[in-house]
Amino acid sequence: MKKKEERRYRIINRNGFTLIELLVVMVILAMLAALVGPRLFTNVGKGKQSAAKTQIEMLGQALDSFRLDVGRYPNTSEGLKALEADPGAPGWAGPYLKKALPVDPWKNPYQYQFPGTHGEYDLYSNGADSAPGGEGENKDVTSWD
């Protein structure tokens, strides 16, 4: 008779977790996510700023190649499209980009102006807010910084 009781006891103890135990674990996980989540999202913003800076440098190299072949940078009306398709400029030996013209990490086109006010040309992204100026992820990413 004693063995039968032991078997019942073993079976009863194998039921799993109680609802209270599961709720406690879920609350602890939610608290950890609340503490760690914001720190992860600030790194995403920094990553996008870094990606924009890298793309601007790559576009700058393509603009320099255009200038070597044509003798000048594309004017504002030709824009960055002159790196992909011949704008009718003598000496054009493009395309100067291996892939299609990129957009910034916030899905906006890069802004280009020639002649520039900060250098020979101005190439920039207005950041996450798509407006000039800003701080953090909204900060402009420029070719002259």
Q: Say whether pLDDT at 9 is over 80.
A: no
Number of domains the chain is built from: 1
Q: Are 66 and 82 in contact (CB under 8 A)?
A: yes
Domain that holds residue 121: 2-142
What average pLDDT does the segment 86-110 reach? 92
For residue 8, the model assigns a pLDDT of: 57
Torsion angle, alpha carbons of 19, 25, 28, 32, to 10:
-130
Query: What is the phi-psi region of residue 79: left when phi exceeds 0, alpha when psi lies from -120 to 50, beta otherwise?
Result: left
For residue 85, the model assigns a pLDDT of: 93
Q: Say whether pLDDT at 47 is over 90.
A: no
Q: Say whether pLDDT at 34 is over 90.
A: no
Return all residues near 63 (Cβ < 8 A) that are at least 6 apart. 73, 74, 83, 96, 121, 123
Q: Are 64 and 114 in contact (CB under 8 A)?
A: no
d(CA 36, CA 43): 11
For residue 120, the model assigns a pLDDT of: 93
For residue 19, the model assigns a pLDDT of: 86
What pTM value is reported for the model? 0.69
CATH of the domain at 74: 3.30.700.10
Percent residues over pLDDT 70 in the chain: 86
For residue 74, the model assigns a pLDDT of: 95
pLDDT digits (tens, 9 = 90+) for 48-76: 888 999 999 999 999 999 999 999 999 99
Structure tokens at 63: 């603009």
User: Taking all residues of the chain, what is their mean pLDDT, rounded to a whole number?
Assistant: 86
Q: Say whether pLDDT at 10 is over 60.
A: no
